[in-house]
Amino acid sequence: MRFYTHSFAYTCGIDLHGRSIYACILDREGEKRFHRRLPCDGEKLLRVLEPFRGDLVVGVESTFNWYWLADFCEEAEIPFALGHAQYMKAVHGAKVGNDRVDSYRIAALLRGGTFPRAYVYPKEMRATRDLLRRRSFFVRKRAELYAHVQNSNLQYNLAPIGKVAKAATREELGGHFPDPDLQLSVDADLELITAYDAVISKLEKSLKRRAKVHDRATFELLKTLPGVGDILGLTVLYEIHDIDRFPRVQEFVSYARLIRPVNTSAGKAKGSGKAKIGNPHLRWAFAEAAALFLRGNDEGKKLLARLERRYGKGKALSVLSAKIGRATYHMMRRRTVFDPKRFLAA
């Protein structure tokens, strides 16, 4: 956990909602200078902040709609701090909570240097990252349709069908199901799958073009990793953005959910920590990369066998994912391509 420790004469804590905000401004002594509800209007907010702009920081919890406020502060040249929602226990864990109280607590955390900091993703690449995540959402929905077609076939113990992902298989399913309502249900699935195919293909082409504009060198560098193609390369590129924000490799693998957090007290383990804090998209990308690394790779399978003897079969693949994550970190920091000999020997 990292804290926002910069000192300012005034700290503004904002409890942000869809149509309104509750702002609280504290001075160095902790006295309230402003504490009121406002609409989500940049001009009105700027008028409130104007008397304090000379030495002011604005802080907000990382809710779904923080983008516009970060952009507003950047345009107004006001320092902005984004709070990690899961670490802000002083807000969520309080006995009493409302907009007025929460805005004051956010301002107090900023003033005291205990504001848990989250990464403010730059607006130039933010929409592309969100588009990539939207593409993943569509892929999952398409997979659900694949599964429903196969399950419908198994429910009635009909002749096996091929992979629904193949267009040729989908063409053969016309009239495959004897019940007309079941056939209509499957036809609806197939129509949606065809529509998803077109949308996903369009998004992927656009994402690859944008990656070459934003950071072509890093995108091509990432694709030298074993098992990493366009989609996994895009995911790693846009979910990390700036590898220098992780001073140590341990911080990176923790962020990517590649290690298991453990709580200790007096030298004794007290269970695992909050395993869901971090980036699930990177966790998925490195897990996929590990599985693809083993495909047709005899040396990779030997490495997995060694890991299985040391860590057990259930944990070996996770260890391999973490190993690929560490290799990615060092590649991006050193700007070097993947070295398979060094990877297998380490």
Q: What is the DSSP string of 74-110?
A: HHTT--EEEE-TTT-HHHHT-SS--HHHHHHHHHHHH
304-319 pLDDT, tens per residue? Answer: 999 999 999 889 999 9
pLDDT for res 272 = 65
Task: Give the alpha-carbon dihedral of 78, 81, 82, 88, to 10 degrees.
Answer: -140
Q: Cα–Cα–Cα angle for 29, 31, 37, nearest 5°?
A: 140
Phi and psi torsions of 241, nearest 5°? 65, -70
Q: Say which DSSP state 248 is in.
A: S
Average pLDDT of 41-56?
Answer: 95
In three-state form (DSSP H/G/I as H, E/B as E, the rest C), the secondary structure along 20-42 is EEEEEEECCCCCEEEEEEEECCH
What is the C-alpha separation between 187 and 185, in angstroms, rounded?
Answer: 5
Q: Is the pTM of this model over 0.75?
A: yes
What is the C-alpha separation between 176 and 44, in angstroms, rounded?
Answer: 63
Q: Are 10 and 52 in contact (CB under 8 A)?
A: yes
pLDDT for res 123 = 94
Give the tokens for residue 48: 């409130």
pLDDT for res 58 = 98
Give 92's pLDDT tier (boundaries 50, 70, 90).
low
Give me the chain's average pLDDT, please. Answer: 93
228-264 pLDDT, tens per residue? Answer: 999 999 999 999 999 999 999 999 999 999 988 777 7
Sequence-separated (6 or more) residues with CB below 8 Å from residue 165: 146
Cβ of 179: how many Cβ atoms within 10 Å?
Answer: 11
Helix (H, G, I), strand (E, B) or coil at 177: coil
pLDDT for res 261 = 77
Q: Is 102 left (phi over 0), alpha (psi -120 to 50) or beta?
A: alpha
Give the tokens for residue 234: 């895009």
Average pLDDT of 176-190?
Answer: 95
Q: Are 297 and 306 in contact (CB under 8 A)?
A: no
Average pLDDT of 30-39?
Answer: 96
| Cα 192 → chain centroid | 27
98-157 pLDDT, tens per residue? Answer: 999 999 999 999 999 999 999 999 999 999 999 999 999 999 999 999 999 999 999 999
pLDDT for res 284 = 96
Average pLDDT of 277-285?
Answer: 94
Task: Give the alpha-carbon dihedral of 294, 300, 306, 309, to 10 degrees.
Answer: 10
What is the C-alpha separation between 113 and 130, in angstroms, rounded?
Answer: 31
